[in-house]
Structure 1
Amino acid sequence: MKQDTLLNVSRLKMHFDAGKGKTVKAVDGISFEIKEGETFGLVGESGCGKSTTGRVLMRLYEPTGGEVRYRGKNIHALDESESFQYNRKIQMIFQDPYASLNPRLTVRDIMLEPMEIHGLYEGRKGRLEKADELLESVGLHRGFANRYPHEFSGGQRQRIGIARALALEPEFIVADEPISALDVSVQAQVVNLLKKLQKEKGLTYLFIAHDLSMVKHISDRIGVMYLGHMVEITASARLYKEPLHPYTQALLSAIPIPDPDIEDKRKRIILKGELPSPIDPPTGCVFRTRCPAAMDICAAEKPVLKEAEEGHFVACHLYDGNMKKEADGVKVTVQTS
């Protein structure tokens, strides 16, 4: 069954004034779409622009260029009524469960606040009942509602954050590295909870993370970002089986495989050099200064994200003309698993 496009990001730019006439190009012309009911994973190194993209979708930033359309409407050109509804339909799960909850409020008050602002449910009694239901839906006892955030573990706080995000019955949730601050033993529990809630409530997720091994288990499709640019987009299974972009190949080669025979034979790709500054990115392809397959054209022309194979988009000159090539003796198709 064909899924409808819920959100479409087109040539999005988010630049910041760094003073002295310099500009930080945090996001520099990315495009992607998210279909209704799917989880779109957004991955890349710290500083690549993932969280900035999520904040633009939440309308915390006014973009420098491009546009974001939600159900066909530009989210930065909505009237007052449409804007109020959008703020309800899109919610966020924050990275830090310790900083994202007001320490002065009980869990119950944290849950009630957004409901009261949007006038949802039948009076205070209905809201209290809804708050208790939401706590139970994320695996917490309704008796916890009278406690304060400091009385909970990190995993429990993140569950409270998830329950708060669900309080307004959203359609779309931006999960900004929701498991990176949690113990490894708790991360899988939170991911499984998100998958369960998605199935029950028909939610759509943008799942932002830098841990590719965890993104694989929750995402339907994955976009890979590098220095403010989208370098590859495809289905999760295909990305892990056949990554096309040299940067994606390097990222995946760093994921350990729990099989000593495979791990011993596998090729590890070590990127040379430091991550360039978003204030002064390289000309042409922003990855060329660290790419083992860089060619002369990479410095002269910026690659365009295009379909190299059906449903598999990549921004790399190695795939110009839909042909896999070799450059400088470096074979670009690398087995990563």
Structure 2
Amino acid sequence: MGKQTLLSVNRLKIHFDIGKGKTVKAVDGISFMINKGETFGLVGESGCGKSTSGRVLMRLYKPTEGEVTYKGKNIHQLNKVEAFQYHRNIQMIFQDPYASLNPRLTVRDIILEPMEIHNLYGGRNERLEKVDELLEAVGLHREFANRYPHEFSGGQRQRIGIARALALEPEFIIADEPISALDVSVQAQVVGLLKKLQKEKRLTYLFIAHDLSMVKHMSDRIGVMYLGNMVEITDHVQLYKEPLHPYTQALLSAIPIPDPDIEDRRKRIILKGELPSPIHPPSGCVFRTRCPAAMEVCALKKPALQEIDKDHFVACHLYDRELEQMTDGMKVMFQARSE
């Protein structure tokens, strides 16, 4: 049986008018799809548009161009009833566990609130029992329900946020850098919890992060973003085994390897220059100003996201079929530099 596409993003653009004729191109034409039951990792530097993309999927922003479809329906053209149901099916785990919980509410009320809004689980007694079940599901004691957020550590708060996201029994969860504010030891626990819950409840995840090493353990497929553009998409094994885009190669070269012999021998790809402004992105390929393999064509033409191998997509003129003969020499040169 083939994979079922749950959510599809097609040529999505999110531009923000900041006055004086200036526009921030936060997301500039990305496309990807997420299959039911999988984890799709979205990675890139801070400011590349990952979180903005996630907020569009939550219908917090309207797209400037393009569309997002969920089970074949455009999510920004839903009627009130459909939108209400959509927000039950799609939930979000936020980045900052210290800011995402209402400090005036007890843990019980935080988890109970979405159930009451959607009128789930019969009466109040059934909902209270569900709160206790959710707390235990995320590794917290039932007795914690009477406490307030300030009484918990960052890792415990994030578990409360996960319990709140599960309260409506969603099928799709957007995890927006859910571990970046946590200690390393706690990060592994939260990732383990998310994977366990996914298996038990058959969840689909969009896992947004900037740490490629953690995304590898969490994701089935990974999309790499740079300055509002999608530059590479493939499964997690292929991305680490054979990264094609120069930016992906640079990101992977920065991940420490816990073997001192290998770590000493390998060469890191150091990107020159600063990340360009999304107000005035470079012409053509947005990565060309920092790319060690940049060519003249890169300034003239924006590379399209093309399928180079089975389910391996890359947006780079080094792999552009129309420029294949022209770029063979450049491929050899770049590979020699990165080895």
**What range is the shorter-chain TM-score in?**
over 0.9
The separation in 2 between residues aligned to 1:166 and 1:335, in whole angstroms, is 44
- Tell me if 1:185 matches 2:185: yes
Report 1:100-179 matches (<5 A). Answer: 100-179=100-179
1:327 deviates by: 1.7
Count of paired positions: 336
The separation in 2 between residues aligned to 1:175 and 1:328, in whole angstroms, is 36
Deviations 1:17-65 (A, max 9, x none): 1110000000000000000000000000000000000000000001100
Check 1:332–1:303 CA distance in 2 against 1; reply closer, same or farther (3 A cut). farther
Secondary structure in 2 matching 1:288: coil
Q: Which amino acid counterpart does residue 272 of structure 2 have in structure 1?
A: K
- Tell me if 1:49 matches 2:52: no
Q: Which amino acid counterpart does residue 147 of structure 2 have in structure 1?
A: R
Which residue of structure 2 lines up, in the alignment, with residue 58 of structure 1?
A: 58
Q: Which amino acid counterpart does residue 315 of structure 2 have in structure 1?
A: A
Secondary structure in 1 matching 2:320: helix
Which residue of structure 2 lines up, in the alignment, with residue 281 of structure 1?
A: 281
1:141 deviates by: 0.6
Q: Is the 8 A contact 1:244 1:333 kept in 2?
A: no
1:277 deviates by: 0.2
The separation in 2 between residues aligned to 1:307 and 1:334, in whole angstroms, is 25
Structure 1 residue ranges (4+ consecutive) displaced by more than 4 angstroms after TM superposition: 333-336
Q: Is the 8 A contact 1:276 1:282 kept in 2?
A: yes
The separation in 2 between residues aligned to 1:294 and 1:31, in whole angstroms, is 23
The separation in 2 between residues aligned to 1:48 and 1:259, in whole angstroms, is 31
- Tell me if 1:294 matches 2:294: yes
Deviations 1:243-301 (A, max 9, x none): 00000000000000000111111120000000000000000000000000000110000
- Tell me if 1:325 matches 2:295: no
Question: Aligned-residue CA RMSD in angstroms?
Answer: 1.4
- Unaligned 5+ segments in structure 1 are none
The separation in 1 between residues aligned to 2:263 and 2:337, in whole angstroms, is 14
Report 1:214-253 matches (<5 A). Answer: 214-253=214-253
Q: Is the 8 A contact 1:242 1:335 kept in 2?
A: no
Secondary structure in 1 matching 2:255: coil
1:329 deviates by: 6.5
Q: Which amino acid counterpart does residue 186 of structure 1 have in structure 2?
A: V
The separation in 2 between residues aligned to 1:241 and 1:223, in whole angstroms, is 15
Deviations 1:296-316 (A, max 9, x none): 110000000000111100000
Q: Please, which moves more after superposition, 7-16 or 323-332?
A: 323-332
The separation in 2 between residues aligned to 1:333 and 1:121, in whole angstroms, is 61
Q: Is the 8 A contact 1:245 1:316 kept in 2?
A: yes
The separation in 2 between residues aligned to 1:138 and 1:240, in whole angstroms, is 31
1:331 deviates by: 2.3
Deviations 1:109-150 (A, max 9, x none): 001100000000011000000000000000001110000000
Q: Which amino acid counterpart does residue 148 of structure 1 have in structure 2?
A: Y
Deviations 1:219-254 (A, max 9, x none): 000000000000000000110111000000000000
- Unaligned 5+ segments in structure 2 are none
Q: Which amino acid counterpart does residue 17 of structure 2 have in structure 1?
A: D
Which residue of structure 2 lines up, in the alignment, with residue 209 of structure 1?
A: 209
1:328 deviates by: 8.4
